[in-house]
Amino acid sequence: THEDFFKRFRVISPQVKQTRNFKECAEKLAHTLDMNMPYGAQVGVTKIFLKQEVANVLEDRRNHALTHIIVKLQQWYRMISARGHFVESRTAALTIQPWERMIFRRRDFVKSRKSTKLLQVWWRMVKGKKRLAELREIKRKAEEEKRRKEEEARLARIKKVGEEQVRKEEEAKRRAEEEKNAAENEKVRALLQEKEKKEVEEPIVVSPETQKKKKPKKKKKLSRTGSIMMDRNEVLEVPINVDGKMTVGLGWKTKPMAIAGSNVNVFIDLDASCLMYRYKKHMDDCYKFSPKSKDGAVILRGSQFNSGEGKDNYQIDVNFKKLSKKVNTLLFVVTMFTPGTSFCDVEDSYVRMIDANSKVEYCRYDVATSDSSKETAKVMCKLYRYGYTAWRLKAIGHPCQGRLYKQVISRVGAFLDTEPPKRTFKLTIHKAQLEVRSGRKLKKDINTFCETRYDIDSSKTKIAKKTHEPTWNVTHTVSGCANTIEITLMQKRGFGKSSFLARVVIELEDGPGFKFVEQWLPFAEEETAQCKGKLKLSIVEQ
């Protein structure tokens, strides 16, 4: 129809205006489109007739016109969108730029102010020192002038009345001053005695309201009641908490030491450090200028701490759970940094172990200083592995040489164990029998598994569910360099959670061919053990 033709192809020639008579509109559009009329197209009464080739050309022209319009619309939209992003970015930049300028200017201002304060302090110090020197010089000159005048007056008096008479006058003057001072002291003493007599004769009456207001006296803290006093070379089992944290406290007192020919006392500087070893190989250390180990398990905290009962010069926090598997010995050393000093100038030195949570002292070793002679370092104690998770503390207190911790590293070989040869074992865990320990609660149906640790090698069994007589029959092969094999019985508690029940530590004999088959071994009796019983094992060295 005329209407369909006009509406479809008007996009090719948009200058043709639309009227109510679509036939006229179609004729005008047909003449405008140059369709070779009447041969290519003809206008009928109700329709327009087109040849196929003319219709194809019109469709191509229409598609081209529509594409041009769409491209224009896309360009316009992209322009509007880009303009919006640009305006937004410019607004944000204009907001950030003043803030950034303020920050830089503020930083420069703070830096300048700090520098100015330092200069002012330094300048005031210089002026103060200069003024102090001037005042001291004025005072010295005034005192010299006074002494000179007194000496001149004394010599003139000697010439006039004689030396003996002058000496008698000076003696009489001195005695008069002493008598005057004694009389004043006696007067003050008499007043104090009268005041004390009045207080005794007139009792103090305290009203009930005043009695209520009086605060009750604080109870004195008890001294170390539960602490274990250790002797030299004594060994104790370390009671590790659930979080695996303990604190080692080091303390001492220095004797006053004066510089020869003066009354000035010397400050004696002592430093504490922790040396970490795998047998005799030095792995890591923790000292004053590097107070944290590489794995973050050992942290040295500075001097003068009040924790629990006692005052420590240094405290070293040890987290056994974070400690590297390769480290099996911790040595705690104290060195004297001040030249010309030794442990003869130190008294009441000690080392103690403290619970990191409750701050309660567990054990203490008072180091004797009688055998220190001229030594400048002292090995206080050592912590070493017994098995894998168990640790023991040994009190040493042995003197050594070195004013820095680095000088001590090569001199502590006598306190370290020799690395055993590498060995491989085939270990079979058969079954276990559990019993409830007195004072502990243990569910009837528990899920258990065993974890085997030998040196840095470890392996786990499958989980035995809901029984006090678990059976595993699992075989593991472990290898490493150690003298003990530790088998830990664990309770499975939900997803990713487990708790300690008991453990067996097997000490290996020296030499090849270690073997025992299907033997029952009792669980170790420990404070942290939740149950008792025995474990059936087979171990064969390969």
Q: Check: CB of residue 466 under 8 Å from CB of residue 446.
A: yes
Question: According to the model, what pLDDT value does residue 192 have?
Answer: 72
The pLDDT, as a whole number, for residue 498 is: 87
Inter-axis angle of helices 2-9 and 52-161, to 10 degrees? 30
Q: For helices 2-9 and 22-33, what crossing angle results, to 10°?
A: 50
Per-residue pLDDT of 285-309, as tens digits, reads: 999 888 999 999 999 987 554 444 4
On whether the CB atoms of residues 285 and 275 are closer than 8 A, the answer is yes
Digit-coded pLDDT (tens) for 343-393: 888 888 899 999 888 888 889 999 876 555 678 899 999 999 887 788 899
46-52-57-59 Cα dihedral, nearest 10 degrees: 60
β-strand partners of 50: 41
* Rounded-to-10 torsion of CA 516, 521, 525, 526: 60
Q: What are phi and psi of 117, to 5 degrees?
A: -65, -45
**Sequence ranges of the domains in the chain:** 162-200, 229-415, 423-541
Q: Compute the CA torsion angle 409, 411, 416, 419 (nearest 10 deg).
A: 80
Q: What is the CA radius of gyration of the chain?
A: 49
Strands 228-229, 361-366: pairing is parallel
**CB distance 23 to 2 below 8 Å:** yes
What is the structure's pLDDT at 494?
76
Q: Are 352 and 299 a contacting pair, CB within 8 Å?
A: no
Residues of the chain with pLDDT under 50: 204, 206, 208, 210-225, 305-309
What pLDDT, on a 0 to 100 scale, did the predictor assign at position 124? Answer: 93
User: What pLDDT shows up at residue 200?
Assistant: 56
CA pair distance 106, 99, nearest whole angstrom: 10
What order do you get walking across the sheet with 471-480 strand by strand? 471-480, 423-436, 531-541, 515-522
The pLDDT, as a whole number, for residue 220 is: 34
pLDDT of the residue at 206: 45
Query: Can you identify the CATH homologous superfamily of domain 423-541?
Result: C2 domain (2.60.40.150)
Residue pair 9/58 in contact by the 8 Å Cβ criterion: yes
CATH class of 229-415: mainly beta
